[in-house]
Structure 1
Amino acid sequence: MSMKTRREVIRMLADQYKKAKSRNEKSAILDNAVKVLGCHRKHAIRTLANPPALTPTKSKRHRPVAYQEAMPVIERVWEALDYPCAERLHPVLLETAQTLARHGHLRLTDSVISQLQEISRPTLARRLSALRSPKARPTVSKRKPLAELRAQVPMIAYDWDETRPGALEIDLVEHNGGSSLGHFAYTLTVTDVVSGYTRRRALLGKSQLAVLRELKHIIAKWPMQPWGIHSDNGQEFLNAHLKTFCASNHIRFTRSRPYRKNDNAHVEQKNGFLVRQLVGYERYDRPEQVEWLNSIYALHDRYFNFCLPTRKLIGKERRGARVKKTFDTAKTPVARLIESGVLSSEQTQRLQAYQSSQDPLTLHNQLEMMLSRPVPSSTDTAEPVEAV
């Protein structure tokens, strides 16, 4: 309907609304107004209480825009000073105009000079806002880079009964001795949620590129090509470097919910069992100590993945307030990988041959000997042991 018809309908409904005596009558009129006008009920109440006039009042005539004669001069001065803001332009406006006039770039009259003297800084700012600067303005993203990245990385948690190996959870463990001051070492833990196969690497600091370098080192030695990487929301993981690496290797990159450690339950359990119980809570902040940690991890990764049997949760049943959990027969992580059927025959034969060549007692004694020695100083570095 036209605006004229709309105003007539509103006036008619407003008269009915004012004459209505009961609440039900007013409610029915409001229902009709909402249906006819297509507006919200609250808006209909306000409109019927104060209906518009049938004939809209003509707007008052605005006074002519001031300083029109001086605008060409202001624009030329603005251009000469490389398009400054009003705060910078206003104090030197008249002086610069006179300078340009002496060089023959513009002509000043008494009226223009008077306007340049009288114009205020806020008025000058309003006049300049209507002008278009040819200088390119830097584009500033309204969203923060981290927020943009979080929106691109799905927020999920792997199912506890996931059956396809290759879903990796990753996390960092601090070795700060109880103080976060200064530079200290971290342990990067990577675990497969299906088989429990786990690898670790120590690094000094947690820069994004350093974490990615160690993650690449671990994945290069992984028994199979992973299909997923799941991390927490730390910036050492949630960054463009890791996202690009996952995309280029066809790996699905996901993250856990903020402040929900149980979304990374498998790697959190490995942090306690394979890091804290192994090397403790001491502070490690020197390169030789990082080498010592990596020599232990290289040996212990072999010991854990090829020799130590572990149990895996295969069922849950709630009985009242309790949950009964069922575990499978204890097996080594490598045995679970082989039984999953995702490895090629060549990969299976290589892992089986390497597993049969391992001596658990020798590995155990070597680890006990390394852990019983003092942590190396700057003059005593540990020899790294390569793992398969």
Structure 2
Amino acid sequence: MRVRYLKATTRQEKSQILDELQATLGYARKYAIAVMKPKPEHDRPRAKRTRPLRYLAALPVIQAVWEALDYPCAERLHPVLVSTAQQLAAHGEIQLTPEVLRDLRQISRATLARRISKWARPSAKHVPAGRRPSSRLRSEIPVERYEWNEHKPGALEMDLVEHNGGSSLGHYAYTLSVVDVVTGYSRRLAVLGRGQAGIAAALERILAEWPYPVWGIHCDNGSEFINSQLTRFVKARGLSLTRSRPYQKNDNAHVEQKNRFLVREIVGYERYDTPEHVAWLNTVYAWLDVYANACLPMRKVVQKVREGRRVHKKYDMAKTPLQRALEAGVIPTDKHTNWTEWAGSLNPLQIHRQLVTLLTHGPEGANVTPAPLPAPAPWPQAEACRT
């Protein structure tokens, strides 16, 4: 039928042949047209090679050199093939005859590449996942997340916020942000770099100043958290440690929201990379933590109803995180009066002005003396604001 098709001179003849082909073999019209065309030259069977392969005697030597140099490509192997073979022969690793040496000098890079491509190359060297310390720690830390309606205060989420100004080069500051998913109580502390020891020390300081007992900590999969120092720390305190699913930031939703509201919208996206910058950040956070926990009301989701693809949420009445902690009964009863009187003695407008002053002057104006809070607080960090 192809012969008839190629000999046809009119469009009607070719169309009739295509109709017969479709009716006989069930081909689609376009495919029938394609198969009727003559085959290109490159699709025709090639004549088998009759010339014998060259350099067969040199192949064992080439393979030994290739192995000695850790299996390089032909571009790297070809320039040093002869010299390395002579070096191996001097140590008695291979036998280098005049014929083999001649072949090593004559073989081209392209021929060498074709020979190498047929040899088995060992797989890439890597440390098995089960032997890595981080892998072992990840297997010990369960992947979970706190429920949105968690009712037991003391469940903390923590995260790091970097202050690199858009460039990850060099050493710069990080903010360790910790928040209770039940009460909304939160703390922040700036450190220079994200070394494991520094992050563990910052977390220990924050928990030491937490006003009520903590029972769980939730983090992401960063190496600053998944390390032996943090695991020893939580085990010594009898805390529950969990981690998020990889690349699922919503598993840490509460602290991510605080990062935006109480870190990025306050100190911005500038680069802070000196001890003076870290000291300024911690001065800001000392006032900001008092302001956020004792003055700023927050609403909490108390009900979720899904209707198709939409989720309708119901919120409770706005309260400050400190009020929620007092009402939850997690702060010791004998300290309720101290906390209540301290919160009532605060002047939110004064604290707001102080924050505006600190942020307006920036780190360069760190010598500006912060105004003292109106009354001492049962919270150690508030006392630091007064000095």
**TM-score (norm. length: structure 1):** 0.62
Aligned residues: 252
Give me the CA root mean square deviation. 2.2
CA gap of 1:175–1:164, structure 2 versus 1, over 3 A, is: same
Does residue 158 of the first structure (1) align with residue 146 of the second (2)? yes
Correspondence for 1:353 among 341, 345, 360: 341
Instruction: Show the counterpart of 1:326.
Output: 314
Q: Is the 8 A contact 1:291 1:383 kept in 2?
A: no
1:205 maps onto 2:193 in alignment: yes
How far apart are 1:229 and its partner, in Å?
0.5
- Out of 285, 289, 297, the residue aligned to residue 273 of structure 2 is 285
Partner of 1:188: 176
Structure 1 Cα separation of the partners of residues 254 and 294 of structure 2: 19
Matches within 5 A, 1:368-383: 368-376=356-364, 381=367
With over 3 angstroms needed to count, the CA separation of the structure-2 counterparts of 1:336 and 1:232, relative to structure 1, is: same
Tell me if structure 2 keeps the 8 A contact 1:305–1:334.
yes
Measure, in 2, the Cα distance between the counterparts of 1:193 and 1:284.
29
Structure 1 unaligned segments of length 5 or more: list them: 1-90, 93-139
What displacement does 1:382 show?
A: 6.3
Measured in 2, the distance between the counterparts of 1:217 and 1:142 equals 33
* In structure 1, C-alpha distance between the alignment counterparts of 2:215 and 2:150, rounded to whole Å: 13
Unaligned stretches of 5+ residues in structure 2: 1-90, 93-127, 373-380
Q: Deviations over 1:354-379 (max 9, x none)?
A: 211211111111111111113227xx
Q: Which residue of 2 aligns with 1:298?
A: 286
Report the Cα offset of residue 143 of structure 1.
1.4
Identity score, percent:
51
> Aligned-pair distance for 1:346?
1.8
Of 308, 332, 345, the residue aligned with 1:344 is 332
Distance 1:162 1:361 in 2: 33
By how many angstroms is 1:349 displaced? 2.4
SS state at 2:224 partner? coil
Describe the superposition over 1:91-131 as per-residue Cα deviations: whole angstroms up to 9, x where unpaired: 79xxxxxxxxxxxxxxxxxxxxxxxxxxxxxxxxxxxxxxx
Kindly indicate whether the alpha-carbon contact (under 8 Å) linking 1:292 and 1:381 is maintained by their aligned counterparts in 2.
no
1:196-275, aligned counterparts within 5 Å?
A: 196-275=184-263
* Alpha-carbon separation, structure 2, partners of 1:374 and 1:273: 19
Return the offset for 1:381: 5.0
Contact 1:163 1:194 in 2 (8 A): yes
Rounded to whole Å, the distance in 1 between the matches of 2:316 and 2:249 is: 25
Q: Secondary structure at the match of 1:376?
A: helix
Contact persistence 1:169–1:193 (CA under 8 A): yes
Q: Is the 8 A contact 2:153 2:182 kept in 1?
A: yes
Asked whether the equivalents of residues 294 and 321 of structure 2 are also in contact (C-alpha less than 8 Å), the reply is: yes
Whole-Å separation in 2 of the counterparts to 1:383 and 1:337: 31
* Code of the aligned partner of 2:206: I
Per-residue deviation, residues 200-252 of structure 1 (Å, max 9, x unmatched): 00011000000011111111110112000000000100111010110110110
Out of 378, 382, 387, the residue aligned to residue 382 of structure 2 is: 387
